[in-house]
Chain A
Amino acid sequence: MPISHKTRRRILDAVTHATLALFALIAMFPIWQVLNISLRPGDQLLTTTLELIPSNATVQNYVRLFTEADFLLWMRNSALVSISVTLTGVLLASTTGYGFSRFAFFGKKAGLLALLTTQMFPATMLLLPMYIMLIHLGLINTYLGVIIVYSATALPFCIWTMKGYYDTIPVSLEEAARIDGCTYFSSFYRIILPLAAPALVITALFSFMTAWSEYLVAAQILQETTLWTLPLGLKSFESSMSTAWGLYGAGSIIVMVPVVVLFVALSKWLVSGLTLGSVKG
């Protein structure tokens, strides 16, 4: 018996739902694990059961995080570093991207290509020489040291994103403003910059995340425990798995929730920024 078009469609829909649901579960599984660990009471940290929510769930790990661990200090340190990197990224990328998008100048093409090339640097390519430079300059164990390295990592991508976005804004807008008597600066600052707000948000998010989520650079530069950022702190919980595993879970949840929410909300633009940057060579 041939199955009707409608039945076939229904079966297909059901299979699609099932497949998507399965993958969504796989995507959520580790997050559920972290949440689960964070809610376990101290005597049940190591367990071989897979309950959806642990029996005797408690928020004591969250409380201990703020009362017994240096979590607030790490958060302050991370915020300080991340905000500095974000400000640097947004300020410099918004102006430089505009220059690249609108004007011809000596070294423009070479500059753009050089920025693209930096994306192919292996992590150690800049980190090692910079680490040695920071030793010579006495900047090991300072925030300035990590801020410099993070800015160097984030800035090329931010400039490309901003340039790509400015390219989509018609030049006629500034031309009209110039005829009306605007200076170069005010036509940029008052007309184009507000229009580029979405790209500014992406640039800010990207710079912030670069600094907020970075472990390997910080591990080399910030060795004094009072200077630790969140990733270093959470890693120290993980290293002593049995005793601080619950703190690790609670800390991770607090660290990732705001970033994840922002990221999901902005993911569409992030991708267009990435592909714009790489398509237009």
Chain B
Amino acid sequence: MRLSRQQWFVMFLVLPAFVLLAAVVFYPFVYNVILSFGNMNLTRIRSWEFIGLRQYVKIFTEPTQPDFYAIFFKTILWTVVNVFFHVVLGVFLALLLNRHLKGKSIYRTLLILPWAIPQYIVALTWRGMFNYEYGAFNVILTKYLGLPAVEWLKSPMEAFLACILTNVWLGFPFMMVVALGALQSIPQELYEAADIDGAQWYHKLRRITLPLLRPVMIPSITLGVIWTFNSLNIVWLVSNTGEPSDQTHILVSFVYKAAFNFYNFSYAAALSMFLFAILLAFSLLFMNRSKATEAAY
């Protein structure tokens, strides 16, 4: 078969990346699937065997410390709470920034900062701020508000709350920037027409602004859910590997620990597959459903 000049050119364009991606993405993915059906761990790294679905059965039936279902529930809670605050704060601030205001660009720049800082620095710095004796939060609580100090990092509830606070702070700028872009593309005439009809601000918000924000926010929320669900950095570094005594985990940090602290490679591989399946199902359902509602508008 002779290739045309165009075909040669396309090969030149895409082949190098395809080969690389096949080696560093596709092959590891397949390897992960294979691993999840085996019993590999640190002592059996070269002499492991296939054991079928047993790792998957283990995930759902074998009691773990902490309990798998508790972590699962926590992960859902973590994702919902975080994304909810990201979207609400983001849209709220975008609405404010969309008004005619002096110094708007300064506010915008300052409000993006949490997104711009490398995540591990965010996490380590917030961990410092949650320190019991010297951290900024307890100083503010005790010295300026006259409240008792909180043991942020030593009890499971508070440590989880600390992670959530950090992650809410880190995530709202993305939603804000997305919403701001969408707001600026809404034609001004719509509001003028509404003014002529004597509409109040909340009418305009409900009938014009929010419906037109929707199509842009839906993919961003999908992305936000995926990122938050997979947000290993924050939980791992703020709680320092899941402290106190592995009580502060979401699924992805639990998998990381199983893989790299306990070296249960096959078990971790099966868990990864489970997480991936959840996210894939969520994305397909959420995007499809929102497409259906979009069509109804």
Q: Which residues of A contact B (CB under 8 A)?
A: 13, 16-17, 19-21, 23-24, 26-31, 33-34, 37, 46-50, 88, 92-93, 95-96, 98-100, 103, 105, 111, 114-115, 117-133, 135, 148-149, 151-152, 155-156, 159, 183-185, 209, 212-216, 220, 231, 234-235, 238, 241, 245, 248, 252, 255-256, 259-260, 263-264, 267-268, 271-272, 274-275, 278-279, 281
Contacts and interface: CB of A to CB of B under 8 A. Distances in A.
A124 B250 CA distance: 13
A126 B287 contact: no
A278 B273 CA distance: 23
A236 B209 CA distance: 48
Q: How large is the interface on B (under 10, 10 to 19, 20 to 34, 35 or more residues)?
A: 35 or more
B107 A24 contact: yes
Interface of B: 5-7, 9-10, 12-14, 16-18, 20-21, 24-29, 31-32, 35, 40, 45, 89, 93, 96-97, 99, 101, 103, 106-107, 109-122, 124-129, 131, 133-134, 136, 139-140, 143, 169, 173-174, 177-178, 181, 216, 219-220, 222-223, 226, 229-230, 232-233, 236-237, 251-252, 255-256, 259-260, 265, 268-269, 271-273, 275-276, 279-280, 283, 287
Contacts of B25: 118, 126, 152, 155-156
B99 A16 contact: yes
Contacts of A256: 116-118, 121
A96 B219 contact: no
A118 B230 CA distance: 12
21 contacts: A19-B96, A24-B111, A92-B20, A95-B14, A96-B13, A103-B9, A119-B223, A121-B276, A124-B272, A128-B272, A129-B31, A152-B28, A156-B25, A235-B124, A256-B117, A256-B118, A260-B117, A263-B116, A272-B181, A275-B181, A275-B220
B238 to A, nearest CB: 11
Contacts of B220: 274-275, 278
Given A122-B252, A209-B118, A252-B121, A111 B96 contact: no
B142 to A, nearest CB: 8
Nearest to B236: A216
Contacts of A49: 139
Contacts of B237: 215, 235
B68 to A, nearest CB: 15
Contacts of A48: 133-134, 139, 143
B14 A105 contact: yes
A264 B16 contact: no
Contacts of B29: 121, 125-126, 129
Given A92-B20, A95-B17, A274-B223, A128 B35 contact: yes
Contacts of B113: 27-28, 31, 260, 264
Contact of A259 (B32, B116, B177, B252): B116
Contacts of A209: 118
A129 B32 contact: yes
Contacts of A183: 5
Nearest to A119: B226
A155 B17 contact: yes
A216 B232 contact: yes
B116 A17 contact: no
A111 B120 contact: no
Instruction: Please indicate which of the listed interface residues B17, B24, B45, B106 has the most CB atoms of chain A within 10 Å of its own CB.
Output: B17
Given A20-B107, A122-B279, A271-B177, A231 B9 contact: no
Contacts of B136: 29, 33, 50
